[in-house]
Structure 1
Amino acid sequence: MHRRFTLLTSSVSEIHLQQIFALVPSVLSHYLDFSLDILLEVLKNIEEARIKLPQSTDEFEDESILIQERHPRLVGAFGSIDGLSLPVQVSDDVEIENATYNGRKTEHRINNILAFSPRGVIIDVVLNAPGSWHDAHVTKPIFDCLHTHVPEGYYLVSDTAFPHSTSSISGKIKAPLKAGEHVPSDPAEQAELLAFNHQLLSYQQTPEWGMRAMQGSFGRLWIPLPIGSKEDHFRLLEICCRLFNIRANCVGINQIKSVYMPVWCAGEDERMWNDMGNMLFGEIRK
């Protein structure tokens, strides 16, 4: 178990793990492969680790209310979305090498899309897409889900890299104004639009917090991932996402959650200290 989490939470290579635990490469590889399969199956059966969108209109509304407590103009927003680009090793296969090369970063990468709720948990993902793909292309499965699953009036907040004005997802994703974008000439409408845009910009920072927490918790994501099978990549990334949700739900150390659920946190802290006081001093009071 310790070796398994050392792989996920540290940035050491497998060669260093072999040295630390005195294992030959074949034994370490077999052990990690076997244990990660077990870990993923266990996580799939833990409710706190689930990656899921809200399931009913009431659940969408509950998420939106949390956001509106800080951003009252974002009526209907239930989460935020952004891309996470991770380094990957260079493949000897020319097709894979071309697919993973990201021209903007001039590195070989894989692209992932993560959507976060105001509770700080991941509610939808697209994992292990080629680094040469644009976020808008990678996000297509989430677009399809937004179109078919999300009730009218509810939307995700994104940056301007995501298409949000096409007819198929119109109203399901909202992004801040781009530079030079048209604004109404009427002063009142202009002021309202700019105020709405300011709150979009503010809430759009939340996926950045989530990405930073993800990479901060799992140091393995900082070093280039092996260019082996895509199934191994997907498994590792899914495990990290599910463990991230457990950490957010059970431990509560999460910047998004601490900002958008401060009342909940205060209530939990008070209950915890009261229970601790009753436990420690109950006999004295008698």
Structure 2
Amino acid sequence: MDAADRPSGGRLLREWRRRRNLSQLELASGAAVSARHLSFIETGRARPSREMVLHLADRLDVPLRERNRLLLAAGHAPLFGEHGLDDAEMAAVRDALDRFLAAHDPYPALVVDRHWDLVRANGALGLLTAGADPALLAPPANALRVALHPDGMAPRIVNLAEWSGHLLHRLRRQHAVTGDTRLRDLHDELATYPGVDAGDDRGAGTADPAAILLPLRLRHPDGELSLLSTVTVFGTALDVTLSELTVEAFYPADDATARILRDHSTRR
């Protein structure tokens, strides 16, 4: 892309404001800046300072990766580092993740990046992915593709419509927050799979509105598994990579599932 074709900092801020469904007046009021000055920034008549870019990005809840892009577009150096998980600087993060995954065993847990590619997992995850096409599990395995592909977990998911609706709802929300087109493309791909229910923006497809939680119900030779999931992120991340990691941990929803998971652990 030629320099002349690159979006300005003001244009990117305007795109984020519109993505958040805010008017100039609403953003200006919430950020305690004049609407006139914000208009000048968005139209390129005023060059925002580094502090102003970060202030507006914070009000707009812009992800760290995109904050760096905003800074560059406005003529400033990026602020947030981006390290690979295997870098020396990330040793404490790797240790924390590995400790959590090991402690959560015999229950399944996994770590994914911003595109839902699998980064780490404990041994119990194999109970969920058993029977999936090895090609789907080859790195970089995509957790959502493994779950919903007809050659993946989908044939074993008892409540496929409800579970797929839940996953695609999460994916739409993630795309709305980040603006990442790869997430939109992944959503559109998954929505074409047999048995997948994309649901709507109100929630998880055809899930029972009276239910407390939506379990993942999975067929298993020893009996049906019923699993609840929790999602964890690093709340104080100042590194781009770290801010985009998500830990998903599954827990048994009933005693029968807990027994099967324990028994599977002893056979590994």
TM-score (norm 1): 0.27
Higher relative contact order (CA closer than 8 Å, sequence separation 6+): 1
Higher percent of residues as helix: 1
Q: Give the TM-score normalised by structure 2.
A: 0.29
